[in-house]
């Protein structure tokens, strides 16, 4: 079996093994919720759901292509018998517009993978900026989101506000290392219980103070009053507090993030997230992510890498 076929089979196996499924064309890997004996909710792995993917109107090029000399045979571009994922089609069309490569000598969709290989291996990644994917991410800790938001170029984030939401949606994330050891696991559960109780007690005390007219906690509006309590109470929440977000990235940014964060040197929790992002993206578009290989580390975890880094 060739390397690419082996990687494709491994990615498929990992995606399914993690409970990955495709619903209405949108890949997702969900993460179950666990509870301590005291009822504190926590998750053991990132949940990754593709919320949006591109939809490309190639036929929309018709009126444009028909306006050129018929001898160029540009309208044939619309009759390519190979259907690509919309994200690949969008980036390929964008790239082919640059050289007006619409005639019979163009690279056809059948050869899209080698077309993108030429672009990414040369570092010409700008056409990859056209296609974006949005995700729901959950089961990720505040320390992971702090690392993820460092990626500025081509990315967008909307993260849960610890000032706005109350303890009712408070959940925690157990690191992979703690899951491996009974004692570490019990210590984690104890910490999560204490953090949840501590947060509740703190919020109650702050509310009492607010009721007594404490100057720094006072507010005219009910929402502002709640924020003032929660923004103070959150100071005791640990890094292992869950911080769900909606995350958007264009393909160029997503490739860079996967390369940085699914690397052997990346922190283990964000590596787990980057792996799931990759698996969902590869399922959605096997061409734009077809040059990646999955490697194994001695600790049983995996890496994702490509020779065409930072396109």
Ligand X SMILES: Cc1cc2nc3c(=O)[nH]c(=O)nc-3n(C[C@H](O)[C@H](O)[C@H](O)COP(=O)(O)OP(=O)(O)OC[C@H]3O[C@@H](n4cnc5c(N)ncnc54)[C@H](O)[C@@H]3O)c2cc1C
Active-site residue identified among 234, 252, 255, 261? 261
CA distance 118 to 126: 13
Q: Which of 70, 99, 265, 300 binds ligand X (CB under 6 A)?
A: 265
CA distances 177 to 139, 221, 268, Å, are 15, 44, 9
Q: Which one of 45-53, 70-78, 98-106, 150-158 is the stretch in contact with ligand X (CB under 6 A)?
A: 150-158
Which tokens is 121 given?
A: 């291996």
Relative to beta strand 21-23, strand 26-29 is antiparallel
256 scored as a contact of ligand X (CB under 6 A): yes
266 scored as a contact of ligand X (CB under 6 A): yes
Active site residue 261: yes
260 scored as a contact of ligand X (CB under 6 A): yes
Closer CB to ligand X, 266 or 288, in the complex: 266
Shortest Cβ distance from residue 172 to ligand X (Å)? 24
Burial environment of residue 114 by CB neighbours within 10 A (0 to 12, 13 to 18, 19 or more) = exposed
Positive or negative torsion for Cα 120, 124, 125, 127: negative
124 scored as a contact of ligand X (CB under 6 A): no
Per-residue contact flags (x/-) with ligand X for residues 153 to 192, judged by CB under 6 A: x---------------------------------------
152 scored as a contact of ligand X (CB under 6 A): yes
Cross-sheet strand order for the sheet of 41-43: 33-35, 41-43, 172-173
Closer CB to ligand X, 53 or 261, in the complex: 261
Closer CB to ligand X, 100 or 264, in the complex: 264
271 scored as a contact of ligand X (CB under 6 A): no
| Contact criterion met (CB below 8 Å) for 49 and 296 | no
Shortest Cβ distance from residue 270 to ligand X (Å)? 8
Count Cα atoms within 13 angstroms, Cβ side, for 266: 25
226 scored as a contact of ligand X (CB under 6 A): no
SS3 157: strand
Closer CB to ligand X, 92 or 261, in the complex: 261
How many CB atoms within 10 Å of residue 59? 8
Which residue ranges make up the site for ligand X (CB under 6 A)?
Answer: 150-153, 256, 260-261, 265-266
Residues annotated as catalytic (active site), given as ranges: 261
């Amino acid at each position: 079996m060739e390397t690419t076929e082996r990687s494709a089979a491994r990615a498929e196996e990992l995606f399914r093994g993690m409970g990955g499924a495709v619903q209405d064309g949108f890949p997702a890997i969900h993460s179950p919720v666990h509870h301590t004996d005291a009822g504190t909710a926590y998750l053991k792995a990132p949940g990754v759901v593709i919320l949006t993917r591109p939809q490309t109107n190639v036929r929309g090029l018709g009126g444009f292509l028909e306006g050129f000399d018929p001898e160029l045979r540009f309208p044939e571009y619309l009759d390519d018998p190979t259907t690509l994922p919309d994200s690949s089609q969008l980036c390929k069309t964008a790239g082919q517009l640059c050289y007006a490569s619409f005639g019979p000598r163009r690279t056809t969709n059948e050869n899209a993978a080698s077309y993108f290989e030429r672009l990414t291996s040369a570092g010409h990644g700008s056409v990859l900026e056209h296609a974006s994917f949005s995700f729901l991410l959950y089961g990720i800790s505040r320390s992971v989101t702090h690392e993820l938001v460092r990626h500025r170029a081509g990315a967008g984030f909307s993260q849960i506000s610890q000032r706005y939401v109350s303890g009712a949606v408070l959940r925690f994330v157990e690191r992979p290392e703690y899951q491996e050891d009974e004692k570490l696991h019990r210590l984690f559960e104890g910490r999560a219980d204490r953090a949840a109780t501590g947060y509740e007690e703190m919020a109650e005390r702050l509310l009492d103070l607010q009721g007594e007219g404490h100057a720094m906690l006072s507010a005219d509006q009910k929402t502002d009053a709640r924020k003032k309590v929660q923004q103070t109470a959150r100071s005791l929440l640990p890094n292992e507090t869950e911080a769900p977000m909606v995350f958007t990235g264009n393909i160029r940014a997503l490739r860079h993030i996967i390369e940085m964060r699914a690397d052997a040197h990346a922190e283990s929790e964000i590596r787990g997230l980057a792996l799931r992002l990759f698996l969902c993206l590869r399922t959605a578009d096997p061409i734009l992510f077809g040059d990646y290989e999955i490697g194994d580390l001695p600790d049983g975890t995996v890496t994702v890498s490509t020779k065409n880094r930072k396109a």
